[in-house]
Amino acid sequence: DAGVTQSPTHLIKTRGQQVTLRCSPKSGHDTVSWYQQALGQGPQFIFQYYEEEERQRGNFPDRFSGHQFPNYSSELNVNALLLGDSALYLCASSLASNQPQHFGDGTRLSIL
């Protein structure tokens, strides 16, 4: 039973570029949440998807957008990358918003 898988593992981009990160939820899970974790800090909630719609959103600008597909997998897109976007991006899946979330290993994004 595969857990949450994220790709790629690492990514290097330059300022102004765009990036897409991918997440496949744990089998049987239908809710996907994305978090940004800067170095030395706790994860910050970006948004949550359920039934292919964004259900909740944290305090992130519109440059951060996402999508959920019919198979429950999800993408996180970030446009016009800034140096401050450098972080570990974590995807978590669950059966519902308050059920325990299972996290992937994350994608480490570095902006040069």
Partner 1 sequence: AQKVTQAQTEISVVEKEDVTLDCVYETRDTTYYLFWYKQPPSGELVFLIRRNSFDEQNEISGRYSWNFQKSTSSFNFTITASQVVDSAVYFCALSAAEYGNKRVFGAGTILRVKS
The site for partner 1 (CB under 8 A) is made up of 33, 35, 40-45, 48, 55-56, 58, 88, 90, 92, 97-106, 108
Which residue number, 16 or 76, has a Cβ lying nearer to partner 1? 76
The least distance separating partner 1 from the CB of residue 81, rounded to whole angstroms, comes to 21
- Exposed, middle or buried by CB within 10 Å (0-12, 13-18, 19+), for 11? middle
For the stretch 57-66, contacts whose Cβ atoms lie closer than 8 Å and that sit 24 or more positions apart, written own/partner, are 60/36, 66/34
The least distance separating partner 1 from the CB of residue 16, rounded to whole angstroms, comes to 27
